[in-house]
């Protein structure tokens, strides 16, 4: 006879749960979710089923922001076909709602370039960096520090959607240090990029007036 484990993983159910009174013994045959119209358990969707030769299993198909229910059964096979097997009763049910707490990688290639004024824009420092390859990227934040600041200050009020920013609040004769971070859709913020330093000379300020 050949032994093994059958791991059942519920399909995603968002953040919703069954009302009290739902029969948990039925979860092995259905999806644990709440029907918004009736407030009852909807058991029509089947679990995903996996074969595990050892008493451990890694689910690599889950998605953050959804709830899952897992159970395990022991399987003993006495023949060559899957039908020639006996399964144990279901284990206790384990409910999980994975949360994304993993920040993106820090942005790379930050560059700061002083830019003279034009007829439409004042003098400033143009910042640009490489596009983040994160699949769940929401945007970027820019931070600036100088010799008078104890900690960098965020410059953008809302998340930047493109890898570029022009700082037009600089003063001539001062040096500023910039960093950029990436933010994912779960709100996790990356470590800061490598800093860059730039400034506007008094001559550049005067020539723009």
pLDDT reading at 44 higher than 80 = no
d(CA 74, CA 21): 28
Residue 125, judged by CB atoms within 10 A of its CB (0-12, 13-18, 19+), counts as buried
Task: Express as a percent the part of the chain with pLDDT over 70.
Answer: 71
d(CA 154, CA 161): 15
Nearest to 10 by CA among 72, 56, 55, 54: 72
Residue range 103-138, pLDDT digits in tens: 999 999 999 999 988 888 889 999 999 999 999 999
d(CA 131, CA 161): 10
Token look-up 């390859």 returns 133
Domains of the chain: 2-96 (no CATH), 111-207 (2.60.40.10)
d(CA 68, CA 70): 7
Among 41-55, 56-70, 90-104, the range scoring the smallest mean pLDDT is: 41-55
The reply to whether the predicted model has a pTM over 0.75 is no
pLDDT reading at 208 higher than 60 = no
Residue 32: predicted pLDDT: 43
d(CA 162, CA 27): 45
């Amino acid at each position: 006879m050949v032994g093994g484990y059958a791991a059942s993983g519920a399909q995603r159910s968002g953040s919703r749960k069954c009302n009290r009174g739902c029969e948990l013994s039925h979860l092995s045959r259905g999806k644990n979710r709440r029907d918004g119209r009736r407030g009852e358990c909807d058991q029509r969707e089947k679990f995903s089923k996996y074969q595990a030769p050892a008493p451990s299993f890694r689910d690599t198909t889950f998605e953050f922001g959804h709830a899952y229910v897992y159970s395990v059964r022991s399987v003993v096979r006495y023949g060559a076909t899957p039908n020639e097997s006996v399964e144990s009763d279901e284990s206790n049910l384990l409910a999980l709602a994975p949360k994304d707490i993993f920040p993106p990688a820090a942005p790379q290639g930050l560059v700061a370039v002083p830019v003279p004024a034009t007829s439409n824009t004042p003098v400033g420092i143009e910042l640009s960096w490489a596009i983040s390859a994160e699949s769940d990227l929401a945007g970027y934040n820019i931070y600036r520090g100088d010799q008078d600041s104890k900690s960098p200050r965020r410059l953008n009020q809302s998340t930047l959607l493109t890898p570029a920013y022009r700082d037009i609040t600089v003063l001539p004769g001062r040096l500023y240090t910039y960093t950029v971070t990436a933010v994912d859709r779960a709100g996790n913020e990356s470590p800061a990029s490598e800093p860059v330093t730039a400034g506007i000379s008094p001559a550049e300020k005067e020539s723009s007036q």
